[in-house]
Structure 1
């Protein structure tokens, strides 16, 4: 995939998302899955990565794959960072936000059986940088993703309002899993569910309302994701806005880890410039 068609670009701008089938190869996906297991089982150092756990599942299993729900901030990991540096991603991302790109937020998401839904939210809520049109997310299925095992859902066109909704804890209490408080923002009838095969990748706008279903199957549902931004984004002060809630929580979490940093500084420290690796060119 070198150049998106005018129809694909229009779809993204109209709907707020775009799915590209079989973008990432099986060998790469297997490498990411194997690395996830090495990290969550303590076989390799986690460094500055965060290992997030599903509290209710941790009580009933000693196997980390049964309760680790994601590894965050893997841009420092030599293996997982190859996803972010993949030129197949870069070629698409650059058509929306330009060639001078930074990786901002990276996650390998594991959704074990019994995992709750991720409530509807907007990714821009978590970010103190603008403009929104210079930010884009990629989300790649590692496993088969179905309605039963917790596929993503989106509210097409919701990004066009350019409205950032108030968020806070809603149906679940996982750390920083804030959801939109307005119950009409993501009605079931407005949702489009994205069932995907391994390697399929969805790109979406940070204003887009989306979430994911609970995993009611007996299988794991893994995916890998990164938010990219143009290097010329501007950092803003979110004090007194709907982002104040998450900003205070992020600052408190940094303090708990021994760092004194503002909301904007946390994101500046985590981001890295992205250059595509030469494989797959």
Structure 2
């Protein structure tokens, strides 16, 4: 179910495990107005179990993780927490043989193709790129993820041809740090000023500066989810997540998709300049690059997941 402080609560949508899922005109309007759409049970349990097992294998070093980045929770590491219990997330998992089954799941791609179809009139002709991917673990003791906009991180446009898919792998509650969004916050078509997170040591965790006015508590919609439930949301939608105050993990998997009609832009003189510099610095440090751009980084980490044509 979805809990929210506003008056109107959208009915949850359930789907059988078919290769396609048709988004209704009402759902498309809800997405356009609010910036998100929730679909119940889109991904089946057997797939979720595979992704969870793969996460454990990578954390234990049982399989080659390639260029996957293991991101740990600094306060937990400082407290001496080890192994999986210290891992916040895996990043850049798009090329992994197991995780890629999620990003290329026909049901997921069918929904995404309808939400960001681009200029084509046929769903089967939509070209899609997987641009940014994560398996999120959120162990006990994880601090909040501040309200932010994903487009703030992305050097490509246009925004309406980009969408995030976020699937619960475990049960998600407010106690273990569920997602929240600010409905309609995408409609101003602007990127708010962001700054570094207040949590020391959490690199690249930027949040909107004017949190009280941009993401007030009474405007936040919190998502209580069962495994397989999936949220799709606009890259300008302000969203975040709470702390995990339980004794269990809160696992999820996500991907940002871009229509192949998208293109890279220069962000050097924009509100995105600082985060672009931080992304370049982090990647350069990890891989030893001496001269690389943020656009090249996203090109390097992306993959065509549907169709054959792309500007990215």
Aligned residue for 1:179, secondary structure, equals strand
Residues 89-141 of structure 1, C-alpha deviations (whole Å, 9 max, x = no match): 00000002232000000000011011000000000000000000010000000
Which of these residues, 112, 124, 127, is aligned with residue 139 of structure 2?
Answer: 112
Matched, 1:100 2:130: no
Contact 1:126–1:243, Cα closer than 8 Å, also in 2: yes
Aligned residue for 2:49, secondary structure, equals helix
Contact 1:155–1:190, Cα closer than 8 Å, also in 2: yes
Match runs of 1:55-74 below 5 Å: 55-74=74-93
2:190 and 2:246 map into 1 onto residues whose CA distance is 34
Matched, 1:198 2:227: yes
Q: How many residues end up aligned between the 2 structures?
A: 276
2:103 and 2:237 map into 1 onto residues whose CA distance is 21
Q: Residue 266 of structure 1 aligns with which residue?
A: 297
- Residue 61 of structure 1: CA displacement? 4.5
Matched, 1:82 2:101: yes
Match runs of 1:20-31 below 5 Å: 20-31=39-50
2:140 and 2:305 map into 1 onto residues whose CA distance is 34
Aligned residue for 2:131, secondary structure, equals strand
Contact 1:170–1:181, Cα closer than 8 Å, also in 2: no
Matched, 1:219 2:286: no
2:297 and 2:226 map into 1 onto residues whose CA distance is 34
Which of these residues, 123, 142, 153, is aligned with residue 180 of structure 2?
Answer: 153
2:95 and 2:34 map into 1 onto residues whose CA distance is 33
Contact 1:21–1:200, Cα closer than 8 Å, also in 2: yes
Give every structure 1 segment of 4 or more consecutive aligned residues whose post-TM-superposition deviation is greater than 6 Å: none
TM-score by length of 2: 0.86
Aligned residue for 1:269, secondary structure, equals helix
Gaps of 5+ in 1: 277-281
Q: CA RMSD in A?
A: 1.2
Q: Residue 11 of structure 1 aligns with which residue?
A: 30
1:263 and 1:62 map into 2 onto residues whose CA distance is 33
Contact 1:58–1:66, Cα closer than 8 Å, also in 2: no
- Residue 250 of structure 1: CA displacement? 1.0
- Residue 60 of structure 1: CA displacement? 3.4
- Residue 62 of structure 1: CA displacement? 5.0
Q: Residue 242 of structure 1 aligns with which residue?
A: 271
- Residue 215 of structure 1: CA displacement? 0.4
Q: Residue 166 of structure 2 aligns with which residue?
A: 139
1:182 and 1:33 map into 2 onto residues whose CA distance is 36
1:148 and 1:40 map into 2 onto residues whose CA distance is 25
Aligned residue for 1:274, secondary structure, equals strand
1:63 and 1:201 map into 2 onto residues whose CA distance is 30
